[in-house]
Amino acid sequence: MKNIHTLLSEIGITIPDEKKAEFDKAVLANYKTVAEVEKITTARDNYKSQLETAQTALKEFEGVDVENLKSEIAKLNTSLKDKETEYQTKIADMEFNSVLDGAISKSGARNATAVKALLDLDSLKTSKNQADDITKALESVKSENGYMFGSDEPFQNPVKDTGNPIPAGITKEMFAKMGYSERLNLKKSDPQKYEQLKG
């Protein structure tokens, strides 16, 4: 593209050097190059196209109850949020149950369902350190109810008679709190009493 001064010189017009800066300023303020015009035209055509697209879209909403539409959109958003929450909850439950079942199996529990009944599952679910807290909870259950775990089975961990006398007048409540070895001693010393308390 030719410079404005070149174009003028080709037709015999020459701008004095001391006037060139002022002339250039005046030209820039009042005229645009072909490239600039094309850029402006492209932008204009783009905005025009966007406007026409928007106008076409708006025509599709003619006669539509806007308030009802807003209500439907709100319902859809609520439904999507509920589904997302439900989905996340299911994933969290599956992950929790996987960790819990693995820990119970590792602990040697004889009956997973019975052990779960003694755990505070709600607290464990919301724990920030589930694996460690589940292990601690299982250790606590095991220390209080050793007979529910394989490690206290006679064949895996034989219990010797301690020789401790069984107190007379044992109640069912006392029997329920007895450890495996105490129950074994009672069974040996007083089978009839043992069966009564067990039943």
When pLDDT is averaged across residues 47-59 and rounded to a whole number, the result is: 83
Q: Are 107 and 138 in contact (CB under 8 A)?
A: yes
Q: Are 142 and 149 in contact (CB under 8 A)?
A: yes
Tokens of 151: 């490690």
pLDDT in tens, 98-107: 889 888 888 8
Model confidence at 32, pLDDT cuts 50, 70, 90, reads low
The residue ranges of every structural domain in the chain are 4-60, 64-156, 159-199
Q: Which residues of 152-172 are buried (b: 16+ CB within 10 A; e: fewer)?
A: beeeeeeeeeeeeebeeebee
Tokens of 114: 């019975």
When pLDDT is averaged across residues 18-22 and rounded to a whole number, the result is: 84
Give the CA distances from residue 91 to residues 125, 128, 134, in Å, rounded to whole numbers and listed in that order.
12, 16, 18
Q: Are 183 and 175 in contact (CB under 8 A)?
A: yes
Model confidence at 156, pLDDT cuts 50, 70, 90, reads very low
3-state secondary structure of 127: coil
pTM for this prediction: 0.42
Tokens of 83: 């589904």
Is 115 buried (19+), middle (13-18) or exposed (0-12) by CB count in 10 A? buried
Choose the weakest-confidence range: 78-87, 136-145, 153-162. Answer: 153-162
